[in-house]
Structure 1
Amino acid sequence: MFDSLYRESPLRAALMRLLPEALAAEEIVSTASTGFLTAEVLARFELWLGMSLGLLPPSTLGPARLLDLGCGVGRVGRRLAAALGVRLVGLDCSNAAITEARVGVAHLMDHERPQFHVADFSSTGLPEASVSAALSLDALYLAPDPLVALAELHRIMVPSGTLVMTAYVSENQYAGTTNLLGDWRPILSSAGFSVDRYDNQSAIWRDVMRSKHERRWAARATLRSEFGWHAEAELSVSAAMLGIGGRPSFLTQVERFEISAHRRP
C-alpha cells in the first residue's frame, strides 16, 4: 500500500499542480514528503531537535545520529541532519521508498552517506542506545502496536534523547482509518518517555488540508476525464476529508498534534 505513494505518475504530477501555497513551496516540494509538512513545521522540528542535541553529553559511540522513523525517500531527514550536523539513519516499511532513498545518496562517500533500511517500527535492528534523537513525521501513529514501537525506540535511544513526532488523535474512531489514540501522553509515559511539548496544531492543518482537498474536488471532472479510475482513490480521500457524501468530515473529527518527548534513563 505504501509503495504506491512513491511512484511517479502523470496523476501525481497533476495533483501537485493543485497544491495550496503552503504545500507547494519549493523547499517543501523538494523533500518529496508524503506527510503534512510546511516550512513552519520543518523549522520548528529543526529547532526542537537542535535544542535537544545541544544538551546531550559527548557520546563515546561516535557522531550523534538522527533516526527518521518512517523516512519515506529520506529527503526530510537528510535536510534536517545536514542542518544539525549529525548522521542520519532512516527506516521505512516501504521497499520502494528505501530503494529511492538509497539511490539519492549513492554518490556520497561512505562516511558521509546516510543509512536507509527497510524495517518494522517494533523491530528496527539498530543497536541499543545508538540513536541521539528521533523524528517521525506522520508515521509512528500508524504503528499496529504503538506501545511496542515506543519500547523499541526507548531501547535504541540514548538517555535524554528526544523524540519529535506528529500524531492524529480522535476520541471517536473514524470509519475507514487506522485506530487512532485519543491521547499519546499516557502511552509515551508508559514506554519510558517524558513529554515536553504536546501542541495542538489542528487549526493550521485543517485550513491547509481543506484548501488542498477543495482544489482536488473542484477539479474532479478534469481528473476523471484525464485519468479515469486512477483518480477515484484520490477523490475518495478528498470526499472523506471534506465530509462529502454524507460521511462526517475527517478534518473535523480528528486533531493533529506535534509532540516532543525525551527518553527517561
Structure 2
Amino acid sequence: MQSIDDPGVLAAVSPHLDDAVAGCGALLAGTPGSTVITVFAGVPDAALPLTEWDRRCGFGDGASAMKWRLGEDDKALHLLKAQPVRLPFLDDQYVRAMERATPKADKIAHALEGVLEKAGARTVLFPVGIFHRDHILVSDAALMLFASKPERRWVAYEDALYRTKPGLLHARLVQFYTRGISLTPVSFRNTNTHRKATAMAAYGSQMPELGITRNEGDTTAPERYWLLSESIKQSPEAGAEAR
C-alpha cells in the first residue's frame, strides 16, 4: 500500500459536525493545524417542527440541537488542534421538514472551493459518500472539484458507520470508476488513535443514538483512504490486441 508521509496543508471536508472526526480523526490528530470544513452546519429556525432525530437526541427544537452540536464540535476540534470552518447549508432533516429543495452539488462545490483556496489546501480529504443524502452530495461536490483542480491531492475517506452497511461501500467505489476515476488505497504515517477517541467522546448528544461507545465500534476501526486519479482510458483497438 502506498504511504503518504507528508500531506502538506490538509483540509478535511465533513458533511455533518462529527463525520470528519469519525472518519479521519486519527489523521487529523496526527496533523495539527488542519482545517475541517463542515458543509451542513446551518442553524434552522427554532420554529421549525421538531424532527424525529432531534427528538430522539433529547432536544426541543432544531436550533437548540445545532447550537449544542456546534459546541461539541468546537471541543472535539480543539482537542485535535484543527481549525473549524462551517458552511451555512442545512442538514437534510431540516430541508425535508421545511419542504425545500435539496441544494445542488455544484453550489456546494463553489462554496468549498473558496474555503480550500483560502486554506491553501495541498491534500483534501472528503467522504466516499455512502448511504446518507448529505454524504453523497458532499462527495459529488468534491468530485467536481477534483476534475477542475487536479494539482491538489484528493483523498476519499470511508464514511464511518455507513461503510459497515453490506454492499454500499463497494457500490459507491464502482460509481467512482464509472466516472473515470481510479482509486488507490493509501495510508498516512502520522496518526493518533487515542486522541481521536477523546475527540469523538465530545459528541455526546448523538453517540447513544448512533450506537457509538467509546473505544468500541466502527469509529475505532482502522481508517481507510483512497487516493484519486484519472482512469487511463483504453481504446477498443488496444483491448482487441490484448485478446
| TM-score (structure 1 length as normaliser) | 0.38
| TM-score (structure 2 length as normaliser) | 0.41
